[in-house]
Amino acid sequence: MAPAPPDLPAPTADRAPRTPARPRRPTGPPPGPLPAGGDRLTEDELTSLAFLILFAGYENTVHLIGNAVLALLDRPDLLRRLRDEPERVAAAVDEFARHDGPAPLAIRRFPREDVAIGGVTVPAGETVLLSLASANRDPRRFPEADRLDPFRGHSGHLALGHGFHYCLGAPLARMETEIALTALLERLPGLALAVPRDELRWRPSIRARGLISLPVIC
């Protein structure tokens, strides 16, 4: 072994080349505003990303699980089939997201210049709201688009966005939903609605498609 560097105490000398351990919790004051420009995030971008991860990451997945469970309670034939074939739940998650996804709208866009789309000119600076829910029911892409069919195979839906801003948490969302649905189907054989269907209340929001609560009995 190489001799210990003279400025290190003897017991740590053999570990000197290792990267120092990262503290388990952040220490010291929070970092100040980050410089704008370059490839660094601005403070505004960082704040909005933190909100996005917290709310989009939590609420969307909760709503997807709730919407999927309700869809299965509406369709006992599908519920039975997925219970019998749990290996199909993973693929079914994408169909639940396509058919009744929790994020019907994309995040707002603002064109930097006039854009012509489908015979309409969107002036620069206007707010553009893209309907992912509408795209996901496009009959040119999805035959019988209104029909929930967890066995239609990979569908190329837009429930998790597309391209540059594709959902950062997509693998986590898929995994959480698959685990939750698989566990519910396996562990709760008597799963059923605890209230009449028309008493269920949806969140009063155009941005979030999700139930306020889903009372069930098992």
Binding residue (CB under 6 A) for ligand HEM from 4, 52, 91, 216: 52
Pick out residues in 161-190 that bind ligand HEM (CB under 6 A).
161, 165, 167-169, 172-173
Nearest to 103 by CA among 185, 178, 165, 196: 165
DSSP result, the chain: -PPPPTTS-GGGGGGTTSPPPPPSS--SSPP-PPPPSTTSPPHHHHHHHHHIIIIIHHHHHHHHHHHHHHHHHH-HHHHHHHHH-GGGHHHHHHHHHHHH-S--BPPPB--SS-EEETTEEE-TT--B--BHHHHTT-TTTSTTTTS--TTS------TT--GGG--TTHHHHHHHHHHHHHHHHHH-TT-EESS-GGG--B-S-SS---BS---EE-
For the bound state, the minimum distance from the C-beta of residue 13 to ligand HEM, rounded and expressed in Å, comes to 42
For residues 86 and 161, which CB has a smaller minimum distance to ligand HEM in the complex? 161
For residues 56 and 181, which CB has a smaller minimum distance to ligand HEM in the complex? 56
Per-residue binding letters, 96-115, with ligand HEM (x by CB under 6 A): -x---xxx--xx--------
Q: Does 136 bind ligand HEM (CB under 6 A)?
A: no
For residues 170 and 188, which CB has a smaller minimum distance to ligand HEM in the complex? 170
The Cα 218–Cα 33 span in angstroms is 51
For the bound state, the minimum distance from the C-beta of residue 9 to ligand HEM, rounded and expressed in Å, comes to 42
Q: Does 57 bind ligand HEM (CB under 6 A)?
A: yes
Pick out residues in 194-213 that bind ligand HEM (CB under 6 A).
none
The two tokens of residue 149 are: 């069919």
The Cα 114–Cα 121 span in angstroms is 6
For residues 64 and 185, which CB has a smaller minimum distance to ligand HEM in the complex? 64
For residues 172 and 194, which CB has a smaller minimum distance to ligand HEM in the complex? 172
For residues 34 and 168, which CB has a smaller minimum distance to ligand HEM in the complex? 168
Binding residue (CB under 6 A) for ligand HEM from 70, 79, 148, 160: 160
Q: Which residues bind ligand HEM (CB under 6 A)?
A: 49, 52-53, 56-57, 60-61, 64, 97, 101-103, 106-107, 132, 159-161, 165, 167-169, 172-173
